[in-house]
Chains A and B, each alone.
Chain A
Amino acid sequence: GNSVTQMEGPVTLSEEAFLTINCTYTATGYPSLFWYVQYPGEGLQLLLKATKADDKGSNKGFEATYRKETTSFHLEKGSVQVSDSAVYFCALGGSTLGRLYFGRGTQLTVWP
């Protein structure tokens, strides 16, 4: 079946620290992979995506590389800011799957 396993949170970091949130997946076919962010009291926003193996998605200093050999799509940022505090969701989808499959979400809190 299709599923996403996301590292447990919450994650608490100091400003300018390095961030990694692990995400692995199980999927049939050739899915696309996504990271969504949900700021407090808001809906879901697409942070970045990758549609095929070895693609790197990037946005706002965040990066993630679609690794088919390790079935992973880990989210990284070199220097987090207080404004990055939010919940981050890893997800897989694609036209062969139709819907999105979400990980459990990781709460990130960044302290000044």
Chain B
Amino acid sequence: SAVISQKPSRDICQRGTSLTIQCQVDSQVTMMFWYRQQPGQSLTLIATANQGSEATYESGFVIDKFPISRPNLTFSTLTVSNMSPEDSSIYLCSVEELEGNYGYTFGSGTRLTVV
């Protein structure tokens, strides 16, 4: 299975600032996904990031708030912009593995607290 390194693992940020989360995968993958998990809730898909094209955002999420980069097949970033306390969540990246043992692998998550 792919191994995903997600950074930072946690952060405490001031409101109005931005945080960029990085995900590095140890193999090339076509699709990367960014999820948000609010406290005590399930996972909500923010966007799907394909290399070489604009990310596709789910309803309720916009590029100005959550800009995503996908410069190559092993790396992606998600920025949480102009943060407010409502952005306090766990953010996770994920990849779909089509080769070998099919499935979806997740990064360890970024625990974000906005104060």
A interface list, Cβ under 8 A from B: 32, 34, 36, 42-46, 49, 51, 89, 91, 93, 95, 98-100, 102-105
Besides A44-B92, A49-B103, 9 other A-B contacts (C-beta < 8 A): A34-B104, A44-B106, A45-B106, A46-B104, A46-B105, A91-B104, A95-B96, A99-B33, A102-B43
Cα A102 to Cα B42 in complex, Å, equals 7
What number of B residues sit within 8 Å (CB to CB) of A? 20
- The answer to whether A43 and B107 touch across the interface, beta carbons within 8 angstroms, is yes
Cα A103 to Cα B43 in complex, Å, equals 8
In order of increasing CB-CB distance, the 9 nearest A-B pairs are: A43-B108, A43-B109, A44-B106, A102-B43, A102-B42, A105-B42, A104-B42, A43-B106, A100-B104
Which residues 36-68 in B have Cβ within 8 Å of A in the complex?
41-43, 45, 48
Q: Return chain A residues, CB-CB under 8 Å to B108.
A: 42-43
Q: Return chain B residues, CB-CB under 8 Å to A51.
A: 102
- Interface class of chain B by DSSP: strand
B interface list, Cβ under 8 A from A: 31, 33, 41-43, 45, 48, 90, 92, 94, 96, 98, 102-109
Q: Which of A42, A89, A93 has the most CB of B within 10 A?
A: A93
- The answer to whether A32 and B102 touch across the interface, beta carbons within 8 angstroms, is yes
User: Closest approach, in angstroms, between the C-beta of A58 and any C-beta of chain B?
Assistant: 15
- The answer to whether A99 and B43 touch across the interface, beta carbons within 8 angstroms, is no
- The answer to whether B45 and A99 touch across the interface, beta carbons within 8 angstroms, is yes
Q: In the complex where A89-B42, A89-B43 touch, is A100 in contact with B102 (Cβ < 8 A)? A: no
User: Closest approach, in angstroms, between the C-beta of A25 and any C-beta of chain B?
Assistant: 14
